[in-house]
Structure 1
Amino acid sequence: METKLINFIDLFAGASGMSEGFINAGFNPIAHIEMNQEACLTIKTRAAYHYLKSKNKLESYYTYIKGEISREEFYKNIPPEILDSVVNVEIDDNSIKDIFKKLNLQKQNIDLIIGGPPCQAYSLLGRHQENIENDPRNKLYIQYGRFLKEFSPKAFVFENVPGLLSANKGKHFKNLKAYFRKLGYEVYHEKLNASDYGVVQARKRIIIIGWKKENDFGFPDFEKLEIKHTVNDAFKDLPKLKPGEGYKYINYKEKKNSYLEKFNLRNGIDFVTQHVSRRHNERDLAIYKTAIHKWNNEQIRIKYPDLPEELKTHKNESSFIDRFKVVNGTGVSHTVVAHIAKDGHHYIHPDEEQCRSISVREAARLQSFPDDFYFEGSRSAAFKQIGNAVPPLMAYAIAKKIKELL
């Protein structure tokens, strides 16, 4: 019996980490909408990958991510409608009608809408409480709702940071739920931790599920994994790097372990791309070495006031004192955020021999992106896209259950 395609639109798509999980669960993307140009190029390149994979013609993709052909040359192999399904635009009052026109051909065929509007306003809640209602990003759920109204999908999945629940003393979230209910959806939410779904990262996120009232399944019971893997499991096969060292692509240093095999992070290629690290000055390297030693031997997080005087650069010893943080090799990482694009101090590699911040590929693995997922743009742009993303393995766990219910 032929299986019906379940079509979806991804709003505020970022680098398409959430979409990746849904595609791997068998959903069909109709469109991705994202305002950041480099992220849009990443989505286009990934859409090209999925198209070529379906045709069993991935050789040109591998040639491209190795840097042997240009992006322009690579895109010539891809049907225009695949690339054009990625819409590079900011969703606001001025653009939304044009977006609807562009997507009108598929209007009757949208089963699901996914996405998570930018969440910086909620993440920084502690420092900007007084401005929370004046930040235009807080009203992006209304734009999200306009897509629900226009395309009337059977369900939606909305992802955001836990700070969403407490914004403006809870009033903001109350308004959000009331708005979605007014549009004809029963709305449920839970706080999920990505580490329960194969991601080697303690990343807590609010997942809001909406169902059309005639198909109300409540909040689904997503299957958690009993066996927990570690950061060292995720990093083990990657070649060692010195600070500032990196490779466009390089062979793995050893065979894949059970973690990489089980979750398909090393998915069919014998090389890894974007294993590139930052340069660090001598002072930072000295701090890193101290921080790694303290963490690995005593499980102590070094604080700025604890540093030797010769390593301190300022006299403020009361705020941001945990600026230097080692990733926990024997457990799961702390949350990867977009600030990793600014500096690597909060994401120091646990191997004292390497003594550096993590590479682009290591950050991608902490977020559970497969190794053949290629991030467009500069190293900083790649870090930012990774930090902002929904981990694909977490999205996959959600998608599997949503598909079953739909």
Structure 2
Amino acid sequence: MSLKNKITYISLFSGCGGFDIGFKENGFKCLGAYDINPYVTDVHSKNLKGPVFVHDLNDLNLPGNLPKDIDVVIAGSPCQGFSTIGKRMVNDPRNHLLLTGGEIAIKYNAKAFICENVPGSNSGEHKKYWEKLQHLLKSNGYITEMIQYSAYSFGVPQLRKRLILYAWKSDEHTTIELLSVPQKNIVLKDILHGLENQQNHNINFIEDKDEIHYAIGMAYQDWGKFNEAIEFYKRAIDFNLHNEDALYELAYCMDIVGQLDQSIAYY
């Protein structure tokens, strides 16, 4: 497959398009994104400008006049029945949707299939869904490999782990190379630094502007950057003179840096 020929893909359980972004940015052509929720598909269509359909994926017949052969199918099926913070009901009807992505990949003769879910989906009795999915794919000529990743290793300041299953047709025309994890470890402080100067960071479009500035001030205060915190507390007060939390924390930070006595007039 060559990017010069625009590799095609479809996105299942697409949500607002988080899974799609990497594919779009690397030149893949979306033939259709599918989700049952009309609100998220509306966001998806506005952000990614591709064909999006409100569709219940229990029905494997997808709208959109798709070709019989698709290069890649990606799927991020619901995790509620698998998540360790939920009830983890083995027979939750949403759990079966993990297999749906593989069934659609086979139906549309996909060269490659990629799906993700939470680590809890591969523990206890729940792992039977992954086992069924891999058996289904292998029996239809796919090679499979499953890897657990942490978002932290990719430069995202979250300790969020996900299981990714890669599957590809085992023929001489398709070669898949799984790259090593980059290990770009950063923390939230690195991401938030200088946020107010970033492109499209326009606080005028945000309601409760004082609370936003107050929250940023609290973050700086937690890092021990009291002068920066003071500036944001002052901005919060400019938007809302009655923000007592910002007034209190401002006084505290001014006292820490020795500015309180000369700032009595401010109060």
TM-score for the superposition, normalised by structure 2: 0.70
| 1:206 corresponds to which of 151, 155, 163 | 163
Q: What are the Cα deviations for residues 99-120 of structure 1, in whole angstroms up to 9, with x where unaligned?
A: 2xx3334333x11011210011
How far the C-alpha of 1:278 sits from its partner, in A, is 10
What SS does the corresponding residue of 2:77 show, helix, strand or coil? coil
What SS does the corresponding residue of 1:210 show, helix, strand or coil? strand
1:3 corresponds to: 4
What SS does the corresponding residue of 2:14 show, helix, strand or coil? coil
1:119 equivalenced with 2:119 (yes/no): no
What SS does the corresponding residue of 1:179 show, helix, strand or coil? helix
Q: What are the Cα deviations for residues 200-225 of structure 1, in whole angstroms up to 9, with x where unaligned?
A: 21211001000112157577123414
Name structure 1 gaps, 5 residues minimum.
49-81, 239-252, 257-265, 298-351, 355-406
1:128 equivalenced with 2:87 (yes/no): yes
| 1:106 corresponds to which of 64, 67, 70 | 67
Change (3 A) 1:26 1:353: farther
| 2:191 corresponds to which of 226, 234, 246 | 234
Change (3 A) 1:34 1:211: same
What SS does the corresponding residue of 1:137 show, helix, strand or coil? coil
AA partner of residue 14 (structure 2) = A
How far the C-alpha of 1:230 sits from its partner, in A, is 2.5
1:96 corresponds to: 60
1:170 equivalenced with 2:134 (yes/no): no
What SS does the corresponding residue of 2:87 show, helix, strand or coil? helix
* Separation in 2, partners of 1:353, 1:234: 23
1:87 corresponds to: 53
Counterpart contact for 1:117–1:141, Cα < 8 Å: yes
* Separation in 1, partners of 2:157, 2:110: 32
1:381 corresponds to: none
Counterpart contact for 2:148–2:163, Cα < 8 Å: yes
What SS does the corresponding residue of 2:158 show, helix, strand or coil? coil
AA partner of residue 128 (structure 1) = K
How far the C-alpha of 1:234 sits from its partner, in A, is 1.9
* Separation in 2, partners of 1:228, 1:273: 32
How far the C-alpha of 1:274 sits from its partner, in A, is 6.1
What SS does the corresponding residue of 1:121 show, helix, strand or coil? coil
* Separation in 2, partners of 1:217, 1:2: 14
Q: What are the Cα deviations for residues 59-104 of structure 1, in whole angstroms up to 9, with x where unaligned?
A: xxxxxxxxxxxxxxxxxxxxxxx4xx20112211xx332x2xx333
AA partner of residue 123 (structure 1) = S
* Separation in 2, partners of 1:24, 1:272: 27
1:145 corresponds to: 102
Counterpart contact for 1:194–1:201, Cα < 8 Å: yes
Matches within 5 A, 1:3-402: 3-48=4-49, 82=50, 85-92=51-58, 95-97=59-61, 99=62, 102-108=63-69, 110-124=70-84, 128-129=87-88, 131-132=89-90, 134-168=91-125, 170-214=127-171, 220-225=178-183, 227-238=184-195, 253-254=196-197, 256=198, 266=199, 269=200, 271=202, 275=206
* Separation in 2, partners of 1:277, 1:208: 42
Change (3 A) 1:296 1:96: same
How far the C-alpha of 1:172 sits from its partner, in A, is 2.9
Change (3 A) 1:195 1:144: same
Counterpart contact for 1:167–1:173, Cα < 8 Å: no
* Separation in 1, partners of 2:191, 2:205: 15
Query: Matched residues, percent identical?
Result: 26
The one of the two structures with greater contact order (alpha-carbon pairs below 8 A, sep at least 6) is 1
How far the C-alpha of 1:123 sits from its partner, in A, is 0.4
What SS does the corresponding residue of 1:128 show, helix, strand or coil? coil
* Separation in 1, partners of 2:152, 2:3: 35
Name structure 2 gaps, 5 residues minimum.
225-247, 251-267
Counterpart contact for 2:10–2:33, Cα < 8 Å: yes
Counterpart contact for 1:8–1:28, Cα < 8 Å: yes
Counterpart contact for 2:102–2:113, Cα < 8 Å: no
Counterpart contact for 1:149–1:183, Cα < 8 Å: yes
Cα RMSD, aligned residues only: 3.4
1:400 corresponds to: none
Change (3 A) 1:30 1:174: same
